[in-house]
Structure 1
Amino acid sequence: MLDRLNQAMEHIEDHLDQHIEAAALARITATSEYHFRRLFSSLAGMPLSEYVRRRRLTVAGAEVLAGEPTLLEIAIRYGYTSGEAFARAFRAVHGVGPGEARRTGAALNSQPRLSFRLTVEGNSTMRYRIVEKEAFRVVGKKARVPLIFQGVNPHITEHIRSISPETMLRIAGLSDQDPDGVVSVTVRLSDGFEEGSELDYYHAVVTGAAGEAPRGLDVLECRAGTWAVFENSGPFPQALQQMWGDVAARWMPSNPYEYRPGPEILRTRPSRDAPTESDAQLWIPVTRLRTHESA
């Protein structure tokens, strides 16, 4: 997988002056387009489209400073329909317009080329299991919140505090399957994984109950499918956030599964052995890679 990811990065470099299809990059990595976008943004910390834009404007910046060709020719080469559109994009990345940069030789920003490699640290293992799950519902209270990589998310904390004890009891009483009890469920609203991107967050339970949605509660219908379930223990939320990163950086490149669309479910409980730590289960929707696929 790492070799294929790096081949995809080479494809981007070779086609910066052409239209780059995410589907073509997914074919190189022998994965679905959804998985490629999700894995890339998780590893790179930015959406694929943003990386391509920054690489184009990095290379274009070098041509601007070189003094030739004309600014309009550079703009057209890198896919901009007018000099004005190129100037706006150039200024957004470099903080200065292309004309001024050429006249003054201004210092420009640079987006380095990305490459991926596996770093082995220690001899720790990731505890996981694969679960085939029938269709189910997530039922609880929903809020739209920004993604925060490090530390407690205050928007989620505020949402949970806004739920009355009576409503929490109603929600908890609906739990009837694994993962049991009250859980945190996140639904990504875009393929990007950059900090600040929006999520739909549910403080909810997993249930197989059908029929009318419970009054005053939000419902998310989840189709049947395969889930990779990861477990760890450690200080909250640091250990959990590390586990999320390890799934993308360590587990996905080493196992015959890929991300599929769907909610991610987190179940946390206080650790029995260490009061300041928590035991976590992270449910990630996945699908098994077809063995006939190749790069």
Structure 2
Amino acid sequence: MDHYTRIQLAIAYLEQHLQDEFNIREASAAASFSAFHFQRLFQAITGFTVLEYVRRRRLTEAACHLRNSSEGILDIALRFGYQSQEAFTRAFTAHWGMTPARLRKLDEQPSSSKMQRSIDFNDYRTRIGGQFHMNTPRLVTLESNWIIGYEFKTNLNDNQHYAEIPGFYHQFGTEQRFMNIPERTRPDIAYGVACRFEDDGAFTFIVGEESAAAAPVLEPGYTSIEIPGGLYAEFTVEGSGQDIRKMIYGSWLPQSNYERREGPDFEVTDVWKSTPEQLDMKIYIPLK
């Protein structure tokens, strides 16, 4: 079963539970993905988050209920997960540009451009090839490796990670945090490791270097992580590394015959060969 079919199973779960409390873990389990990986795939393919999709679907269905039933506004608010009529009215007005009461009084239907229909990922299967163009990765088998670096926190939601990660690298370099890494073996090579993924989209991003220290005593804020050995897809960056990640998870992986295995993905930058205009970077995604 391919990625698109599996994600569609999660969509079916979400549709069946639109009126229940949002549960990303159960939705992702319906697709046989981890909660974090499901959110990353969904966001890379569609351009918006799972939570945003559910919010739009609920407000669309709420508008239909307002137009086609005599059910009270408070009852509709509670039906679609809002704790009060006031909270529902704020969200509804922000989305539709009018209050629930005004929509109910209007003769015309709400704007179709703001309606969120249930997604059919088969449409993405046919369309996505024309949206992304990227070089085929190399498949490489790597030995395990230890990285020591400074630990940053970020999140998938609202593309927070894309905005923040360049700043993590800048801070790591300008504050010379690499100087606190013991027994650096390749000081010209910087690692960015995405790991410790959480259900709500939060994850850790470690900027660091290879180290030979067996049992290091680390400064506050620093951590060590083992990059497991095994099969990886190696992508060479041309331009923005963040754009490449969108293509990897939005296009290449769903259309490949591979599964992403558990564990961190990471990027390796040759510091001396890179410039702000041209990165010398490779991105590695663990496969099985």
TM-score by length of 1: 0.70
1:147 to 150, 156, 161: 161
Verify the 8 A CA contact 2:194 2:266 in the aligned structure 1.
Answer: yes
Seq. identity, %: 23
Counterpart residue number, 1:35: 37
Are 1:128 and 2:138 matched, yes or no? yes
1:125-274 aligned at under 5 Å gives the runs: 125-131=135-141, 133-134=143-144, 136-144=145-153, 146-148=160-162, 155-156=167-168, 158-164=170-176, 168=178, 171=181, 174-175=184-185, 181-187=189-195, 190-191=198-199, 200-207=204-211, 209-215=213-219, 218-222=222-226, 224=228, 226=230, 228-235=232-239, 237=240, 240-253=241-254, 254-258=256-260, 260=262, 262=264, 264-269=265-270
Runs (5+) with no aligned partner, structure 1: 289-295
Whichever residue aligns with residue 148 of structure 1, its letter is Y
Runs (5+) with no aligned partner, structure 2: 155-159
Whichever residue aligns with residue 111 of structure 1, its letter is Q
Mapped to 2, the partners of 1:168 and 1:23 lie a distance apart of: 37
Are 1:62 and 2:64 matched, yes or no? yes
**Deviation string, structure 1 residues 225-265 (Cα, Å, up to 9, x no partner):** 65624222423x2xx23321222123322233135353x32
RMSD: 4.0
| 3-state secondary structure, aligned to 2:56 | helix
Verify the 8 A CA contact 1:75 1:82 in the aligned structure 2.
Answer: yes
Counterpart residue number, 1:48: 50
| 3-state secondary structure, aligned to 2:260 | strand
Are 1:113 and 2:111 matched, yes or no? no
Counterpart residue number, 1:94: 96
Change (3 A) 1:192 1:137: same
Mapped to 2, the partners of 1:233 and 1:250 lie a distance apart of: 16
Counterpart residue number, 1:76: 78
Shift of 1:77: 2.6
Shift of 1:159: 0.9
**Deviation string, structure 1 residues 102-156 (Cα, Å, up to 9, x no partner):** 346795643343333233359865213254654x54323344564236xx96633
Aligned length: 271
- Counting helix residues as a fraction of each chain, which structure ranks higher? 2
